[in-house]
Structure 1
Amino acid sequence: MISSTHIDFKASRKFRRLALNTVISLYLVIIAGGVVRSTGSGMGCPDWPKCFGQWVPPTELSQLPENYKEIYGAKLKGEIEFNPVKTWTEYVNRLVGVVTGIMIFLTLLASIPYLKAGYGKIFYYSLSAFILVGVQGWLGAKVVATELMPGMITIHMLLAIVIVFILLYLFTWSTFSTGLFRAKSNKPLLNKLGLLILGLSLIQILLGTQVRENMDEVIHSLGYGARAEWIDNLGTGFYIHRSFSILVVIANFYWLYQVEKNGADSRLIKFVKGCQVVLLLEVLSGIAMAYFGVPPFAQPMHLTMGILLIGIQYVIWLLINENKYLVKKSLV
C-alpha cells in the first residue's frame, strides 16, 4: 500500500523498468535519426505528420498522384524525387519517435505513486520529460517545414540531450542507493572534473552538429556519389572538431581513472568501463569518417556513441554526488 512515506515494491520496480526502457527507446530514436541523415532521407517524407499526404507511405511511384512533384516540389525547390527507401527510412524514424512518446507517457503514469508517497520531484521530472518530448515532436515538424534549417537541427539535438538527462536521472534515482563511492575527500575534485567533462562533451557534440550541418551543404553540392571528397570540403569547423576531440579523450580517461580508483561498488566500475569502451568506439567511428570516405555506418554510430557517452558520464557524475542527488528514504 502507498503511504505518505512509502511506495509499493511492484510500483517501484515498474517505474524502474519503464524508465530504463524509455531511455533505450530514446536512444533508438537517436540511432534512427542518424540513419536518416547518413542516408539523406531527411526529406523522404516532404510533409508532416503524414507522408506524401498518407498515413501509410507509398511503396511505389504508382501510388502517388501524377503531379506529386508540383504538389511537394514547390516546397523543396523542385528537387523532390520519390525514393521508397528514403521515404520509409524517414517514416520508420517517425514511428520510433511515436513509440518513445508513448513510453514516456507510461513513465509519467508510473511516477504518480511517487507523487502520492511524497517524492513529487520524480513525478515533475517525468512530467517535464513528457512535455519536452511533445516540444521535440513540434521541433521535428519545424525541421521538415524549414527544409532542415541548420539552427533548428542544433536546437533539436540539444533538446534530445536534455530529455536523455532527465530520463537517466529518473532511472538512476530509482535504481541505485548510496554507498557506491568510497573516497569522501576526493569527491569535490571529481565532482568538478565531472562537470568539466560534461561541458567538454556537450561542446564537442555541438561542434559535431555544426560539422554535420556543413556536410549537408557539401552533400548538396557534390552529391552522395562523392563521399571521399566530403571531408576535404568541410572547412575549418571539421578541423576544430577533430582537434578538440584530443582534449576530450585525454580529460575523459583521466577522470574515469580517478573515479575507478575511488569507486566502492562493482556497478560504478562497470559504468566506468562502459564509458571507456564507448569513448573508444566514438573515436574509431570518427576516424572512419575522416579517413575512409565517410562510410554510411559511421555517421549514425558516431552520433549515437556521442549521446551515449555523455549519458553515461552524467550517470557516473550522479553516482559520485549520490548523497546530494540520489539519497532517498526507504521506498518499500
Structure 2
Amino acid sequence: MISSNSLIDKKEQRFRSLAFVTIIIIYLLILAGGIVRSTGSGMGCPDWPKCFGRWVPPTEASQLPINYQKIYGAKLKGEVQFNAVKTWIEYANRLLGVLSGFLVFATLLASFTYLRKDKAVIWGSLTAFLLVGINGWLGSRVVATELAQYVITIHLLLAILVVFALLYSWIRSNVYQLDLETINPTGNTLRWLLGITMVLTIGQIVLGAQVRDSLDIVMKRMGYVQRDNWVSNLDWRFYIHRSFSLVILAFHILVVYQVRKWNRAIQIAKLTNGLIALVLVEIGVGVTLAYFSIPAVVQPVHLLLAILMVGLQFSMVLLLTPKLIMPRDRSNVSISKSTVWKTH
C-alpha cells in the first residue's frame, strides 16, 4: 500500500518538475519575442487575437481578400505588405505565449499540494499566473499601439517578473532538499552586492530596448543597403549601453571576489562561475552586434543571455536570504547532504 506521505512527495515532485519546465518555456517565449523583434515581424499579424482575420494565418497573399492592404493599411500607415515568414514568426510567438499561459495555470493548480505545508509556494505561482494574464493582454496592446516602444519595454519587464515569481516558487519548493544552516555574516555583503548588480542589469536590459528602438529608426531611414553604417548612426543610447556593460562586468568581478572570501559557499561559488561565464559571453555577443553589422540571428541571443543573467542573480539572492525561502514551520524542513551552504 502506498502511504499518504509517498503520494504527497510525488505530487510535490510533480510540481517542481512542472515549475521547472514552465520556467524554460517562459525563457523560450522571451527568445521568441526577441526573434520577432530582430526580424521585424512585430506586425506580421496586424490584428489580435486573430491574424489577418483568421485563426490559422495565411501562407500566401492569394488567401487574403483582394483589398487586404486597404483593410489593414490605414492602421499601418499604408505600409502593409504580406510576408508569410514574418506572419508565421509572429503567430508562432503567440502560440508559444498561449502554451506558457496554460503551463503557468497548470503550475498554479499543482502548487496547491503545498496548501498546508507552505502557502508561499502557492502565492508565488498565483503571482506568476496573474502576471502572465496581464502580459498576454499587454501583447495585444503591442499590436494595437503599432509597436510603441514603452509598451514593448513594459511587456519585457513583466516577462522578467514572471520568471522571478516562478523561480521563487520553484526554489522555495526545493528548500526541503537543502541544508539551511546559519549563513556566515559576510553573506550580507554578497547578497546586497548581488541585489545591486541585478538592478543594474535590469537597467541595462531596459536601455538595450531603447537602443533597439533607435536601431529601428535608423533602419527605416537608411534601409538594408547601408546595413554596415547602422551602428555609426545610432544615437547616444547605444554608446551608454556599450560603456555600461563594463560597469556590469566590474560588479560581477566584485561578486566573484566576495565569494572567494567566503569559503562556505560551495554551491554559490558554482553559480557565480556560471554567472560570470554568462556575462563574458554576453559581452562577446554585444561586440559581435557592434562590429559585424548587427546580425539578426544574434540579437535575440543577446536578449536571452541578459534574462538568464538576471534570473541567475535573482536565484542567488534568494539562496543567500534563507528567511525568504524558508517556511515558518521549520520542523517540516528536511536536511539533506546535498547542501547549498556547506562548510569545509
Aligned residue in 1 for 2:131: 132
Alignment partners' CA distance in 1, 2:326 and 2:120: 13
Alignment partners' CA distance in 2, 1:276 and 1:34: 23
TM-aligned CA distance change 1:145 to 1:181, over 3 Å: farther
Q: Is contact 1:178-1:327 (8 Å) kept?
A: no
CA offset at residue 7 of structure 1? 8.3
TM-aligned CA distance change 1:162 to 1:267, over 3 Å: same
Letter in 2 for 1:111: S
The root-mean-square deviation of aligned C-alpha atoms, in Å, is: 2.0
Q: Is contact 1:154-1:209 (8 Å) kept?
A: yes
- TM-score with structure 2 length normalisation? 0.90
How many residue pairs get matched? 328
| Worse overlay, 168-177 or 61-70 | 168-177
Q: Is contact 1:211-1:237 (8 Å) kept?
A: yes
Alignment partners' CA distance in 1, 2:142 and 2:100: 19
In structure 1, runs of 5+ residues without a counterpart are: none
CA offset at residue 301 of structure 1? 0.6
Q: Is contact 1:279-1:309 (8 Å) kept?
A: yes
Q: Is contact 1:44-1:83 (8 Å) kept?
A: yes
| Worse overlay, 174-183 or 142-151 | 174-183
Q: Is contact 1:41-1:87 (8 Å) kept?
A: yes
Alignment partners' CA distance in 2, 1:31 and 1:260: 33
Q: Is contact 1:154-1:206 (8 Å) kept?
A: yes
| Worse overlay, 272-281 or 174-183 | 174-183
Q: Is contact 1:69-1:81 (8 Å) kept?
A: yes
Correspondences of 1:8-47 after superposition (within 5 Å): 8-47=8-47
Q: Is contact 1:181-1:320 (8 Å) kept?
A: no
Q: Is contact 2:128-2:166 (8 Å) kept?
A: yes
TM-aligned CA distance change 1:23 to 1:197, over 3 Å: same
1:178-217 alpha-carbon deviations (Å, 9 max, x no partner): 4478861201111111111111111111111111111122
TM-aligned CA distance change 1:263 to 1:227, over 3 Å: farther
CA offset at residue 308 of structure 1? 0.6
Aligned residue in 2 for 1:234: 234
Matched, 1:60 2:60: yes
1:122-164 alpha-carbon deviations (Å, 9 max, x no partner): 1122111111101101111000010000111111111111111
Alignment partners' CA distance in 1, 2:302 and 2:181: 31
Letter in 2 for 1:199: V
Q: Is contact 1:180-1:264 (8 Å) kept?
A: no
Aligned residue in 2 for 1:145: 144
Alignment partners' CA distance in 2, 1:256 and 1:53: 53
Q: Is contact 2:142-2:151 (8 Å) kept?
A: yes
Aligned residue in 2 for 1:85: 85
Matched, 1:295 2:282: no
Alignment partners' CA distance in 2, 1:60 and 1:189: 59
Q: Secondary structure at the match of 1:110?
A: helix
Alignment partners' CA distance in 1, 2:193 and 2:207: 21
Alignment partners' CA distance in 1, 2:250 and 2:160: 23
1:53-105 alpha-carbon deviations (Å, 9 max, x no partner): 11111111111111000111110000000000000011111111111111101
- TM-score with structure 1 length normalisation? 0.93
Letter in 1 for 2:140: A
CA offset at residue 256 of structure 1? 3.0
Aligned residue in 2 for 1:169: 168
Q: Secondary structure at the match of 1:276?
A: helix
Q: Is contact 1:181-1:264 (8 Å) kept?
A: no
Over the matched positions of the two proteins, sequence identity in percent amounts to 48
Alignment partners' CA distance in 2, 1:275 and 1:226: 36
Alignment partners' CA distance in 1, 2:27 and 2:163: 8
Q: Secondary structure at the match of 1:69?
A: helix
Letter in 1 for 2:128: A
In structure 2, runs of 5+ residues without a counterpart are: 335-344
Q: Secondary structure at the match of 1:154?
A: helix
Q: Secondary structure at the match of 2:230?
A: helix
Q: Is contact 1:178-1:326 (8 Å) kept?
A: no
CA offset at residue 257 of structure 1? 3.8
Q: Secondary structure at the match of 1:8?
A: helix
Alignment partners' CA distance in 2, 1:41 and 1:66: 22
CA offset at residue 261 of structure 1? 4.9
Aligned residue in 1 for 2:122: 123
Q: Secondary structure at the match of 1:32?
A: helix
Alignment partners' CA distance in 2, 1:238 and 1:148: 20
Aligned residue in 2 for 1:218: 218
| Worse overlay, 27-36 or 261-270 | 261-270
CA offset at residue 270 of structure 1? 3.1
Q: Is contact 1:73-1:80 (8 Å) kept?
A: yes
Q: Secondary structure at the match of 1:241?
A: helix
